[in-house]
Amino acid sequence: MEEDAHKIVIIGAGPAGLTAAFQLSKRGETATVLEADSVVGGISRTAEREGWRFDIGGHRFFTKVPEVEAVWHEILPDEDFLLRPRLSRIYYDGKFFDYPLKAMNALRGLGIKEAVLCVLSYAWARVRPPKDQTSFEGWTSARFGRRLYHTFFKTYTEKLWGVPATEIKADWAAQRIKNLSLFNAIVNAMLPRRNQKDITSLIEEFQYPKYGPGMMWERATELVMAAGTKVIFNAAVTRIEHEHGRAVGVVTESGGVETRYEATEVISSMPISALLKAMSPAPPPEVIAAANGLSYRDFLTIALVVPESAGFPDNWIYIHAPDVKMGRIQNFGSWSPYLVKEGRTCLGLEYFVFEGDELWCAPDAELVELGKRELAKLGLVKPEVVEAGYVVRMPKAYPMYNDTYKANVDTMRAWLAANAPNVYPVGRNGMHKYNNQDHSMYTAMLSVENIYGADHDIWNVNVEAEYHEEKKAAPAAS
């Protein structure tokens, strides 16, 4: 091998890691992908149990980045994509409400008395806006009034993050809800339909690989392996060795056995906190403290097989009822007929948890019973029609935006830039960014270009430009 040949090690076979490998293969370059798990796709995998395929939360494919769109279609042929209609509603107080919220639909559904109270509460928020708008509660109440905030935002958001809405940073609301307010929503509802187009386009339809997002990443793996890249499973990275201001080796552990991979560059989609803690020699205590300061929300899904007739037309339903723990229900039959079979559908009940808490540790059989009980409580599905149930746990599904996350990420970035600039953090937990697949992919694509001399600032990838459809449409998380 030539002296100056690249030995690129990629950590993680999720969307970011596999996109990096795919882009490298187009340059005729190979890499070694190290994946801790035994499957590809990361959070965007499609789990398979006894022939049922389901996502970790349904994954829509939409993007404003043409380069990302192009890669999707280079990996999968057009016939493997479905164009799916989107329907998602909020279930609250035994009623369904349109989601994204439509002012007239919401006010009508609440009944005349409650609607009037909501509008008055909104008017009050205009006159006397909450003083502290740095929290999710203050920010959202200012735009919708406290009453609508309590009905449509507080419960779900607190379930999602596991902390009071007063402790959730407005950053998150600003990213997901953007410029939506009750006033904008009412004005929008009154506009002729054609003027609403740019707000709702792309959101009402989305692309979806017919066997789920995992299909994309399974195919990407085949393509990069065919081009000579190694994808090594059950290979959790535990150490990144650095010397003289560069990373030089990556060490994995599998069944107590360590393996070392020499590296000229490291593209890392493992959580940035774990990356810094794996650097050897170790960074100074303040950098380790910054790594320890990042927090995550974990996720589990209970997939229940039910007759198709027990499903619903929605792709997913937000559950805003405080008396159940469930946050959202997916109906995978509505995502793709190829995910389900034999006149049945598969419902994915989503629970936001902390790794190690009561739900996370509960045995699968107990969780399946919990899922059945909660569906019955909501009046959505009778327990006796449930034919089978499976549980999938996903640690670190959501990077949390706590008070100190920005400062902590900056500390880690600065240390990496000074001590191992050939380590390229990419992706969701890799950069601690609450993002979608396209953002993960794009940061990986730009990092590959940086390896070959470009100078993209991947920390400043312009999310606004890429996601402007979401501006008015996404009060809750994906």
The residues binding ligand FAD (CB under 6 A) are 11-17, 34-37, 42-44, 56-57, 59-60, 236-237, 269-270, 274, 299, 397-398, 427-430, 435-438, 440, 478
CB of 14 to ligand FAD, least distance (A): 2
Please say which residue, 438 or 469, places its beta carbon nearer to ligand FAD. 438
- The full 3-state SS of the chain, as one line of letters, equals CCCCCCCEEEECCCHHHHHHHHHHHHCCCCEEEECCCCCCCHHHCEEEECCEEEECCCCCECCCCHHHHHHHHHHCCHHHEEEEECCEEEEECCEEEEECCCHHHHHHHHCHHHHHHHHHHHHHHHHCCCCCCCEHHHHHHHHHCHHHHHHHHHHHHHHHHCCCHHHCEHHHHHHHCCCCCHHHHHHHHHCCHHHHHHHHCCCCEEEEECCCHHHHHHHHHHHHHHCCCEEECCCEEEEEEEECCEEEEEEEEECCEEEEEECCEEEECCCHHHHHHHEECCCCHHHHHHHHCCCEEEEEEEEEEEEHHHCCCCCEEEECCCCCCCCEEEEHHHHCHHHCCCCEEEEEEEEEECCCCHHHHCCHHHHHHHHHHHHHHHCCCCHHHCCEEEEEEEEEEEECCCCCHHHHHHHHHHHHHHHCCCEEECCHHHHCCCCCHHHHHHHHHHHHHHHCCCCCCHHHCCHHHHCHHHHHCCCCCC
Query: Is the Cβ of residue 13 or residue 391 nearer to ligand FAD in the bound state?
Result: 13
Return the number of the residue (419 or 429) whose C-beta is nearest ligand FAD: 429
Q: Which is nearer to ligand FAD, 181 or 438 (CB)?
A: 438
Comparing CB distances to ligand FAD, the nearer of 35 and 265 is: 35
Shortest distance, position 428 Cβ to ligand FAD, whole Å: 4
Please identify, using beta-carbon distances, which residue of 408 and 443 lies nearer to ligand FAD.
Answer: 443
Give the span between the Cα atoms of 344 and 388, in whole angstroms: 11
Of 221 and 269, CB closest to ligand FAD: 269
Least distance to ligand FAD, CB of residue 373, Å = 22
Q: How far is the CB of 432 from ligand FAD (least distance, A)?
A: 11
- From the CB of 88, what's the least distance to ligand FAD, in Å? 11
Least distance to ligand FAD, CB of residue 94, Å: 25
Q: Least Å distance between CB 316 and ligand FAD?
A: 9
- Nearest to ligand FAD of 182, 300 (CB atom): 300
Nearer to ligand FAD, 54 or 149 (CB): 54
Q: How far is the CB of 30 from ligand FAD (least distance, A)?
A: 18
* Least separation in angstroms between CB 352 and ligand FAD: 9
